[in-house]
Structure 1
């Protein structure tokens, strides 16, 4: 009954149209009142939830990504990607995906990736004879890479949701191979489509022009070096690398590329502060919600439920995947990570599944939810940027969903893809 009151109140509040953060917070207070938990204890959990140094990683990475997204970096990433794949048949669709790989490793956001790369690539693809809905589908599916690869904001949120069991550095390293594998699978599928539909080839970029494009894109690409190189070398922590990346992004955008106007800087900062505020309020309320779940012993109840279905971890992982795919279609990614991680992590650890590996499974599932109706935020952005109806974009997305499901199964049942790089780089030794 306790769990029904807590979860039921959350569902009702969401159905009534409450913002997700406030729905989570109010349901936490309702649950605490139901079990006679002092409300002062919930307030303490609210403050404890955001009183963490590692949380500084989020605003810095969000600001760095926002600055680079506004400063012409997307166009330069597209030009740089064209060097490698633009000359292949269907090259513009491949350029779209490869550019998303580079840009996602700078912004850490699928939304920013879709909006920035889409605004550059979708008109170009349409001009070369690609259907506009197909271009939107390529853009949206390629942006899922940003959920996995560093500096993914959602990797940071998962690390926080584990209560320190998994470090941000471990999640960053774990996401590199899954993200690249996702991009490679999408590239292979687009090559198949290009041959079947006879999409056009591009031209080979002359060497001298390629060198010029590289040096033009280098300043933006160096952000990736700062983030990964600083963490792996031990020079920076994840939070410190985020701060340095923010300073570098500002320097490159305002003094090297100089495509962003100083008079618009305060508007960018305002948008960033608004986004960060929403995230922080959500994290605070989710911490309170999680504490109420703990008092209700909900994680243990969920663990017992899954173990009653089967003791085979592969079957349970399949059940968890199905559940995450469903809820990922109904709610945004960050609140689901904060709410479900404390519930599902005990289930998976009891079966011997590594917490970092489970983090990748969760991110892929919920990343698919970002491009799936009815609440797929990235899908809405792709539809808006492409000026196509949602139904047309979803129809074009169907083969991409198949590829994403295959990638999900591989990542779920081949844990070494997620765990090898963190172990080799020494940022994670396994099992927390």
Structure 2
């Protein structure tokens, strides 16, 4: 395993694309091990032969299609109507929009980039500092890590053999709580700095209802997704196909904003995204086999067991490690590489894998909003021309609020689990 780590770090620092970094690290282990390389090749090929994995390309395509159906504009308007009257109104609009877009995009980075283009300039023009605007948008996009259909939760369920339907349902309450916590943090900072509301009047009932009606098809999607999975109409993979059909029907027949040129562009962008994700999944399977062969989960379990057998303390030790790993590894890679290591450990101490999966997704996705390799952080700062050091300072209250919420969810697992236990 030392060889894998050395090769991985050297290639990553050299700028090698992430998928090939993982693949070459896995190949290096097989060249050193007594096992034939053919086994590694078989693991790469067999990683693609999974029905649940079909959910990933379907939901990626659905996200691209929905972004071209006018859904984003309608959700932005709805968010403005609901919360723009509050102190720091545009910051609340950004956070609420992330929560609503979580049921559409399923990707924190995609959500952060979209909001940086749409809302970022307006926030800066309204007098918000670039660091504050960037921090609200980047950290706020973390909400999409839990709101269904989260791509990360699909991958965790696939690798860890955990119910994806349960994971979707379990992500709802943490997503809502994170929205509330981030909005409270944004309000406190805005209040201290004297940031003004975007609107001086409370929304009328009529304007709320009108905006709600305009956004109803987007807001219905995650609800229908959960209902159909819960009552057995679809498996999660089939729900992905339903999402694509749903996006096409909305775009062509209901909103009438989707064109065939948009469909072609969505397919082109989806092929690029899916190709990248699938390469990472395929090569991660080779590394995952080496992890199991070297009995790394058992060794770590013994190490952690030597520290404590208490489930809560064990969970905090693992989450602390994941927070650190999340700052240097992209979330998809972390899920694929670390799930086979930690799922056996949490099983052994009696932690529910659904509860753990939601917390894992939050902390490793948070790494995308922090230095040194935060993808969402650099994307937003680049789009808003915000110095990274200013972003880091301004993001600390929001990151602290998220970590406090994670600690709360770790101590009280029923907050995460009561909804999936009730419905499934």
TM value normalised by structure 2? 0.95
Distance 2:170 2:114 in 1: 25
Kindly indicate whether residue 140 of structure 2 is the aligned counterpart of residue 142 of structure 1.
yes
CA 1:15–1:194 in 2, change beyond 3 Å: closer, same or farther?
closer
| 1:292 paired residue number | 290
- Give structure 2 stretches of 5+ with no counterpart: none
Kindly indicate whether residue 237 of structure 2 is the aligned counterpart of residue 234 of structure 1.
no
Distance 1:412 1:87 in 2: 34
Distance 2:191 2:3 in 1: 55
Residue pair 1:74, 1:116 contacting (<8 A) in 2 also: no
- Give structure 1 stretches of 5+ with no counterpart: 427-432
Residue pair 1:370, 1:376 contacting (<8 A) in 2 also: yes
Distance 1:95 1:302 in 2: 43
| Higher mean displacement: 276-285 or 249-258 | 249-258
| 1:390 paired residue number | 388
Distance 2:147 2:217 in 1: 19
- Per-residue displacement from partner, 1:281-306 (whole Å, max 9, x unpaired)? 11111111111111111211121222
| 1:430 paired residue number | none
**Structure 1 segments of 4 or more deviating over 6 A?**
none
| 1:348 paired residue number | 346
| Higher mean displacement: 270-279 or 110-119 | 110-119
CA 1:259–1:126 in 2, change beyond 3 Å: closer, same or farther?
farther
| 1:429 paired residue number | none
Distance 2:262 2:239 in 1: 26
Residue pair 1:226, 1:244 contacting (<8 A) in 2 also: no
Following TM superposition, by how much is the alpha carbon of 1:58 offset from its aligned partner in structure 2, in angstroms?
0.5
Distance 1:149 1:340 in 2: 21
Match of 2:211 among 205, 210, 213: 213
Following TM superposition, by how much is the alpha carbon of 1:360 offset from its aligned partner in structure 2, in angstroms?
1.6
- Per-residue displacement from partner, 1:339-384 (whole Å, max 9, x unpaired)? 1111112222211111111112211110210101111111122112
- Per-residue displacement from partner, 1:145-165 (whole Å, max 9, x unpaired)? 101111000000101111x2x
Match of 1:246 among 244, 247, 250: 244
Distance 1:354 1:124 in 2: 43
TM value normalised by structure 1? 0.93
| 1:171 paired residue number | 167
| 2:48 paired residue number | 50
Instruction: Give 3-state SS (helix, strand or coil) of 2:350's partner.
Output: coil
Distance 2:334 2:263 in 1: 32
Following TM superposition, by how much is the alpha carbon of 1:52 offset from its aligned partner in structure 2, in angstroms?
0.5
Match of 1:78 among 76, 79, 82: 76
Following TM superposition, by how much is the alpha carbon of 1:259 offset from its aligned partner in structure 2, in angstroms?
4.1
Residue pair 1:21, 1:285 contacting (<8 A) in 2 also: yes
Following TM superposition, by how much is the alpha carbon of 1:133 offset from its aligned partner in structure 2, in angstroms?
2.2
